[in-house]
Amino acid sequence: MKEVIASIITIGDELLIGQTIDTNSAFIAQQLNSIGIRVGRRVAVGDQETAIRKALNDESTFADLIILTGGLGPTADDITKPLLCDYFGGKLRRDQETLEHIERLFNEVYKRPGALLARNQKQADVPDNCTILHNPRGTAPGMLFQKENCIYISLPGVPQEMKDIFIGSVIPYLKKNLKTPFIIHRTLLTAGIGESMLAEKLVEFEASLDPSLKLAYLPQYGMVKLRVTATGTHEAALTKQIESTFDQLKELVYEHLVTDKDEKLEAVIGRLLNEKQATLSTAESCTGGMIASMLTALPGSSNYFKGSIVAYANETKENLLGVEPATLTAAGAVSEQAVREMAVGALQQVKTTYAIAVSGIMGPDGGSVQKPVGTVWIAVANERTVSTHCLQLGFDRLRNTQQTAISALNMLRQFILTESPD
């Protein structure tokens, strides 16, 4: 079975100057990988016809499938559609079904009075030699072309519109028309050990891997993901092989294992809290609510997360969390005693099973000889026990904040596993 290789071409000057972050490529790659299509290259180009044409020509010599995103809007800098019409030798025609959809959006969803502008009507103009891919959320339809055994799919750059078309139209088409090998991933998450130390620990394991298997290291803030990938033509045999190998890997890293699923740390926390029917609050100073934001980004978090007190100023720590003025005077806001009192205050004020408290100096200024930039105190607590830990971080402000949030959540995970709320 022939491997299917894809290229992703993202279009837009905003991507090249860093004004917009490309999240579309990550989503597309994940979706393609799930049906056995490997992304070989990702290319970003600006809103220039010569650059787009060159990218199409270059990638067509390499890929079986080319996915383009961007440049399909109603303004003058959106040049993808006329370019593709010319590139594939077609002529623009007005698609009545697409026009009716656009009119319905403006009248019933956007509720914009008056007749459609000509530029909005032109969104219904599509090359006569493409397959139209319906866009349920927007005015720019997707377009599918075929040329010399290569499939070209052009999608809007608006992420939610792109995702809807991809899931609703692109994936079903590819699954129906392409025969691909199976690609299976198993992923685990570790904490408390660096990438290089993990690699040393797994030297013999990696050397013994079957050629059809690949191990990848994916480091992040204070944690490392390990992903085993299996590629082949027989799904049952492949699944059996990767499960056996993954079990060996879990045994080797067991003391550092956070989860044997491809999930975020905050999802692990949520599952633990749900299992114990427990609740959580946070008292955040230096993280400014980041920990709460990470937790509440997950659906269902209202079952266990009850609230956060972002106590940035000392008077807020005193007034809302009950931190003693004497503590702040003698030890300072960034101290073990201060975070202890913050955690207890959160437990009492929000009335939860567990609490996290953090206070630190994120930088670039504010440090001293005794407490340099990057000094952070973390406390996790229940009604009987308070556990504390001090970090000495050496990164920039943003990374110090992110590292603190991850460290605090992992500290809570360990606390929950060793402390019963009952």
* 98-109 confidence digits (pLDDT tens): 999 999 999 888
Contact 38, 4 (CB under 8 A): yes
* Residue 292 pLDDT: 98
Mean pLDDT for the chain overall: 95
What's the pLDDT at 420? 54
Q: Where are the beta strands (DSSP E) in 233-353?
A: 257-259, 280-284, 305-310
For residue 192, the SS3 value is coil
User: pLDDT value at position 38?
Assistant: 93
Task: Report pLDDT digits (tens) over 159-181.
Answer: 999 999 999 999 999 999 998 88
Q: How far apart are CA 195 and CA 258, in angstroms?
A: 15
- Three-state secondary-structure class, residue 190: strand
pLDDT band at 421 (very low <50, low <70, confident <90, very high): very low
Determine the CATH number of domain 182-259.
3.30.70.2860
Question: Alpha carbon 245 to chain centroid distance?
Answer: 26
Kindly state the helix (H) or strand (E) to which residue 90 belongs, with its residue range.
none
Range of lowest pLDDT (213-222, 278-287, 313-322): 213-222
- Tell whether the model's pLDDT for residue 41 goes beyond 50: yes
pTM for the complete prediction? 0.79
Residue spans of the domains in the chain: they are 4-177, 182-259, 265-418
d(CA 224, CA 258): 10
DSSP secondary structure of 200-219: HHTHHHHHT--TTEEEEEEE
Split at pLDDT 50, 70, 90, the class of 390 is very high
What number is the average pLDDT over the span 114-133?
Answer: 92
* Residue 1 pLDDT: 67
Q: CB neighbours of 83 closer than 8 A, spacing ≥ 6? A: 49, 52, 53, 71
**CATH number, domain 4-177:** 3.40.980.10
- Mean pLDDT of the 190-209 span: 95
The mean pLDDT value for 179-186 works out to: 90
Answer for the pair 298, 270: CB distance below 8 angstroms, yes or no: yes
Place 110 in a pLDDT band, splitting at 50, 70 and 90.
confident
* Topology (CATH) of 265-418: Maf protein (3.90.950)
Please, is 204 exposed, middle or buried when counting C-beta atoms within 10 Å of its C-beta (0-12, 13-18, 19+)?
exposed
pLDDT in tens, 346-386: 999 999 999 999 999 999 999 999 999 999 999 999 999 99
